[in-house]
Amino acid sequence: MSTVATLTNHQIRLAARPVGIPTRANWQSASEAVPETPEGGVLLKTLALSLDPAMRGWMNEGKSYIPPVGIGEVMRAGGVGKVIASKNSKYAVGDHVSATFGVQEYLTLAEADFKRNGLVKIDLKVGSLTQWLNVLGMPGMTGYFGLMDVGQPKAGETVVVSGAAGAVGQTVGQIAKIKGCRVVGIAGGAAKCEWVVKELGFDACIDYKAGPGAVRAGLKEHCPKGVDIYFDNVGGEILDDVLAKITRGARIIICGAISQYNNTTPIQGPKNYLSLLVNRARMEGIVVFDYADRYHLAVAEMAGYLKDGRMKSKEDVVKGLDTFPEALIKLFTGENFGKLVLQVAED
Amino acid sequence: MSTVATLTNHQIRLAARPVGIPTRANWQSASEAVPETPEGGVLLKTLALSLDPAMRGWMNEGKSYIPPVGIGEVMRAGGVGKVIASKNSKYAVGDHVSATFGVQEYLTLAEADFKRNGLVKIDLKVGSLTQWLNVLGMPGMTGYFGLMDVGQPKAGETVVVSGAAGAVGQTVGQIAKIKGCRVVGIAGGAAKCEWVVKELGFDACIDYKAGPGAVRAGLKEHCPKGVDIYFDNVGGEILDDVLAKITRGARIIICGAISQYNNTTPIQGPKNYLSLLVNRARMEGIVVFDYADRYHLAVAEMAGYLKDGRMKSKEDVVKGLDTFPEALIKLFTGENFGKLVLQVAED
């Protein structure tokens, strides 16, 4: 296959499956020539990548909602970028797009792979590149459909969301406020909590790092009528604390369990799960890909909120493809403040 | 207050809250004179009582779907009996009724308490006294509404039910068969499993006492397409084993957790709960009382199945009010075979 002589594609590949928190040893850098763009296909340049807790799951062997990344394969990552060569009439050079880029500088896509890679054009008049990875991207879609379809919030209900300063959490809380709910976030550290309340307009935010019993005490103080909806990004003790406070008919959306992803011991199951019985409550999982047919509706709604200032979007931007291994770890230590984005190139 | 001179009411009262499995020391026998029947009220004679796993929960302190039984109070129990004195035009002496009798020989009810005690007439032409405690009673209603309303079975789906030879389990499995599902039971011991398959017509039954890994192996063998609906009466390891086998969009009905009720250590949470996420599945609790307005519809449907032989009903009848403490324990050791009933008097 002929190649574009001047372009080399730097990549981060999975070298070995991690035990616990991933380290440099789990990754390998690689370079390969960018292949010629196939007929009907496009060549994309990566501008920014979305770093997500779900990535930790993709690094594990075994059945999940999508196959694991294979050893030696480019690490999977959603991102935004630009068309730099096109043999497809629907895409022009200079178009901005969203797709599953992978942790690499370039992505060559045959037309047959457009759909599988989630290739769609994005409009920078609607939102910035990083917003397209945040409230207008996968985290935003996850928060929107998890809250609206699974949670089905009613005005006046109390919604609690963990990982409140993260990408999904900030979306969930802001939508719930717009829908007329009382919203209580859970986040790590005073600075995040203050931002969640002052900037995003949550009614309260509980600092889970404030000491033992902080979440229980915070729920008692800020959810006097109990918890009608809990959007769970973290699992572990916090899930149990909230289960102890749910109301009759409550809905718990299981979106993730970041507290458990790097466990080297078995996952901690929610020992208060029988609260579901007592309260006739429901715990349900969500995978965002199921809602792909309706992304455009949610994007249109959220773009309206961004425009009229009812919704804010915070991204934590880290630069350089090679910083990926360290950047990813920020998610698990809770160091990121806002949606974590890896900027790979300037637009 | 004047009393009916000839009647003494023997009772079993809660003497102390149990730690682990209840013993004789948790109970006290008592006798008191039967009070005069109030205007508008009735005097009922207990014929048979329903012994249920839920009773263990009622013995604990703390918030649940109904208040705990107080120390010194007559133990709560649903039952069937007969009107032996009436000052209410809707009830005649000789009428058979179902109500929350309590573990005692007589129940005097003021009209204002009819509803709270669930007083309803029962027709022995529709079902026997013990059937009115089984498929036509609370366990039957629990199984019916849990399966139909929460589980929403579709023909061809695979339904797994634990406690398959118990009161709720036998109802769930038989209804699921009638609705066209593949039904796999989980029960303790070869005799129960054989009965569940041969008499009740389940497609298979897994003996959880057959050794380590028996449930996992049984699910693999008998649920080749995975588990679409799991009706859980037991919790513990079995819940985790089933979670590992659920299909996309599966529904798990949390009806009870008999394996955990006598724990002196914290409840074992389902460590495989993230299977709900991967499979976009739902875990939901059910409390039968919520369906009281529709009991008559389910009773009519089940009575039809009993009549045309599509549904069978097995009761394990123990005799004598004073045997209550030992009889109850049979539920937790799995010694009962069919719906456990305490016969208090002959009709």
Residues in chain A with CB shorter than 8 Å from the CB of B230 are none
B187/A88 Cα distance (integer angstroms) = 61
> What superfamily would CATH give domain A138-289?
NAD(P)-binding Rossmann-like Domain (3.40.50.720)
Q: Count of CB contacts below 8 A, A vs B?
A: 107
Question: Mean of the pLDDT values across residues A141-152?
Answer: 97
For chain B, the C-alpha Rg in angstroms (whole number) is 20
Q: Is the pLDDT assigned to residue B9 strictly greater than 80?
A: yes
B270–A266 CB contact, under 8 Å? no
B175/A197 Cα distance (integer angstroms) = 51
B274–A257 CB contact, under 8 Å? yes
- Nearest CB among B267, B269, B285 relative to A279 is that of B285
- A180's tokens: 């007329």
- Strand stretches in B62-213, DSSP E: 78-86, 96-100, 106-109, 120-121, 158-162, 182-187, 204-207
- Nearest CB among B240, B280, B290 relative to A290 is that of B280
B284–A283 CB contact, under 8 Å? yes
Residues in chain A with CB shorter than 8 Å from the CB of B284 are 276, 280-283
* Confidence band of A1 (pLDDT split at 50, 70, 90): very low
Q: Is the pLDDT assigned to residue A147 strictly greater than 90?
A: yes
Interface test with A, best of B58, B242, B254 (most A CBs within 10 A): B254
Nearest CA among A158, A300, A302, A122 for reference residue A230: A158
Question: Mean of the pLDDT values across residues B157-182?
Answer: 96
According to DSSP, the β-strands at A246-254 and A227-232 are: parallel
Tell the CATH topology of B3-134+314-343.
Quinone Oxidoreductase; Chain A, domain 1 (3.90.180)
Torsion of CA B278, A276, A265, A23, to 10 degrees: 50
> Which B residues 186-245 touch A at CB under 8 Å?
235, 240
The answer to whether residues B74 and B58 touch, using CB atoms and an 8 Å cutoff, is no
Residues in chain A with CB shorter than 8 Å from the CB of B257 are 274, 277
pTM given for the model: 0.89
* Exposure on the CB side of residue A283, measured as CA atoms within 13 A: 30
Nearest CA in chain B to A240: B269
Q: What percent of chain B has pLDDT over 70?
A: 99
- Would an 8 Å CB–CB cutoff place B273 in contact with chain A? yes
Domain assignments of chain B as residue spans, ordered by start: 3-134+314-343, 138-289
Query: Could you report the per-residue pLDDT of A50-98, keeping only the tens digit for each?
Result: 999 889 989 998 877 789 999 999 999 999 999 999 999 999 999 999 9
Residues in chain A with CB shorter than 8 Å from the CB of B269 are 240, 268-273
Question: Mean of the pLDDT values across residues B299-303?
Answer: 95
Question: Mean of the pLDDT values across residues A333-338?
Answer: 86
To the nearest whole angstrom, how far is the Cα of B280 from the nearest Cα of chain A? 4
For chain A, the C-alpha Rg in angstroms (whole number) is 20
Question: Mean of the pLDDT values across residues B253-279?
Answer: 87
* Confidence band of A5 (pLDDT split at 50, 70, 90): low
Nearest CA among B117, B49, B104, B114 for reference residue B73: B104
Nearest CA in chain A to B261: A274
- Would an 8 Å CB–CB cutoff place A286 in contact with chain B? yes
A37-41, B82-86, B260-264: which range is least confident on average? B260-264
To the nearest whole angstrom, how far is the Cα of B282 from the nearest Cα of chain A? 4
B226/A118 Cα distance (integer angstroms) = 29
- Would an 8 Å CB–CB cutoff place A278 in contact with chain B? yes
